[in-house]
């Protein structure tokens, strides 16, 4: 009888959750543009969780990778607030740091619940958690990525970290100081100037054993306001470097970089969407702790390994996702 009671109670709870979600509205506010690989994966993770729940989803893109000026950010943040007022969602999900800074902070301790996703910075720097705000932080697997590179290139002792000069990069660089690493960092270099990026890449070819690539999405040609396509920057980088690289984002390995224990936008989006469902079912954001998905995905690009004349050991092949 007790077992039957518990089964009935569970079924009633599921029914209540389903009823709470049906007909509700969720607004997704992305820091970047819809074609950005990270955004595509975040979106896929969210939609896999929210599909078939009777929830209406709309999306808004701040597009702050391609457009980085203060004027643009102020204008598009205002448009995001207007979108919230017009759509009147039951919950808002904000993706990555710029959306947290430009939009979510405006709603601290208000009635509208928000869930953030892909945050590189420290939540307390934005005023989170709050009574109505919780979410998922993003923590690059720097030590693990270096460790994977060492298994491919055992003699690697010194590296340079290259990234664009963006808020995402700034938050990542702050994390480095907290981590004990298996490869010495010779230098950390950030720039938004493509010519400077090219010069630095050439300078380090004879000075380090590896390059750590983070993001390269706000790099521009001289005097241009709109960022270059990220794929173009990465393609040029790989074509003009003979040094093995490690990275922290799954799409960078898929697009040609050698290896990394990578973060997944899909996992970030899926984790945040599960939090959103819990809130839509009646839970308070204040009672849902901020999460940081711990597991990275080890990946190796086989074609890049062949280009660099690197043999992938059999024990590594058994443990990683191989990109052909």
Name the domain count of the chain: 2
Residues ≥6 apart with Cβ < 8 Å to 323: 253, 254, 299, 300, 301, 302, 303
Residues 305 and 189 occupy one common structural domain: yes
**Mean of pLDDT over the chain:** 90
Does residue 247 sit in helix, strand or coil?
A: strand
Residues 157 and 204 occupy one common structural domain: yes
Cβ atoms < 10 Å from Cβ of 190: 20
Percentage of the chain exceeding pLDDT 90 = 81
Mean pLDDT of 260-287: 95
Find out whether 97 and 167 touch, Cβ atoms under 8 Å: yes
Q: Has residue 233 been placed in a domain?
A: yes
Residues 104 and 168 occupy one common structural domain: no
Residues 208 and 315 occupy one common structural domain: yes
Find out whether 246 and 212 touch, Cβ atoms under 8 Å: yes
Its pTM stands at 0.80
Least confident of 91-105, 106-120, 162-176, 273-287: 162-176
Mean pLDDT of 3-24: 47
Q: Has residue 59 been placed in a domain?
A: yes
Assign 17 a pLDDT band (cuts: 50, 70, 90): very low
What is the tens place of the pLDDT at every residue in 211-250? 999 999 999 998 888 999 999 999 999 999 999 999 998 9
What pLDDT is attached to residue 14? 43
Residues 228 and 114 occupy one common structural domain: no
Residues 101 and 184 occupy one common structural domain: no
Residues 213 and 307 occupy one common structural domain: yes
Assign 5 a pLDDT band (cuts: 50, 70, 90): very low
Q: Has residue 292 been placed in a domain?
A: no
Residues 134 and 149 occupy one common structural domain: no
The range of the structural domain enclosing residue 253 comes to 142-262+297-323
What pLDDT is attached to residue 48? 97
Assign 99 a pLDDT band (cuts: 50, 70, 90): very high
Please give the C-alpha separations between residue 67 and each of 62, 85, 93, 98, 229, in angstroms, as whole numbers: 9, 24, 21, 12, 12
Q: What is the CATH number of the domain that holds 84?
A: 3.40.50.2300
Residues 111 and 211 occupy one common structural domain: no
Residues 151 and 37 occupy one common structural domain: no
Residues 187 and 301 occupy one common structural domain: yes
Question: What spatial distance separates the first Cα and last Cα of the chain, rounded to whole Å?
Answer: 56
What pLDDT is attached to residue 201? 96
Q: Has residue 187 been placed in a domain?
A: yes
Task: For tokens 């892909």, name the residue.
Answer: 118
Mean pLDDT of 185-196: 95
Assign 178 a pLDDT band (cuts: 50, 70, 90): low
Mean pLDDT of 277-286: 96
Residues 180 and 272 occupy one common structural domain: no
Mean pLDDT of 194-202: 97
What pLDDT is attached to residue 140? 87
């Amino acid at each position: 009888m007790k077992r039957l009671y518990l089964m009935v109670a569970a079924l009633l709870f599921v029914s209540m959750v389903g009823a709470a979600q049906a007909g509700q509205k969720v607004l997704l506010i992305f820091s970047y543009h819809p074609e950005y690989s990270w955004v595509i994966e975040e979106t896929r993770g969210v939609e896999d969780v929210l599909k078939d729940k009777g929830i209406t989803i709309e999306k808004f893109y701040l597009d702050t990778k391609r457009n980085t000026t203060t004027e643009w950010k102020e204008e598009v943040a205002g448009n995001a607030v207007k979108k919230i007022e017009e759509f009147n969602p039951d919950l808002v999900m904000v993706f990555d740091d710029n959306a947290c800074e430009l939009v979510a902070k405006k709603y601290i301790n208000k009635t509208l619940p928000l869930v953030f996703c892909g945050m590189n910075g420290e939540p307390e720097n934005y005023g989170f958690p709050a009574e109505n705000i919780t979410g998922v932080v993003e923590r690059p697997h720097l030590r693990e990525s270096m460790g994977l590179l060492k298994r491919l290139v055992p003699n690697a002792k010194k590296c340079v970290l290259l990234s664009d000069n963006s808020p995402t990069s700034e938050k990542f660089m702050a994390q480095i100081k907290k981590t004990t690493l298996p490869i010495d960092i010779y230098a950390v270099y950030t720039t938004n100037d493509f010519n400077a990026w090219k010069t630095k890449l050439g300078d380090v070819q004879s000075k380090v054993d590896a390059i750590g690539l983070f993001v390269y999405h706000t790099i521009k040609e001289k005097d241009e306001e709109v960022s270059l396509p990220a794929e173009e920057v990465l393609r040029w980088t790989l074509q003009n470097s003979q040094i093995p690289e490690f990275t922290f984002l799954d799409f960078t390995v898929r697009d040609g970089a050698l290896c990394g224990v990578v973060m997944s936008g899909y996992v970030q989006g899926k984790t945040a969407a599960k939090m959103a469902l819990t809130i839509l079912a009646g839970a308070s954001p204040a009672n849902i702790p901020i999460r940081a998905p711990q597991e990275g995905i080890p990946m190796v690009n086989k074609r890049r390994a062949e280009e660099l004349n690197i043999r992938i050991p059999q024990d590594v092949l058994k443990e990683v996702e191989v990109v052909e």
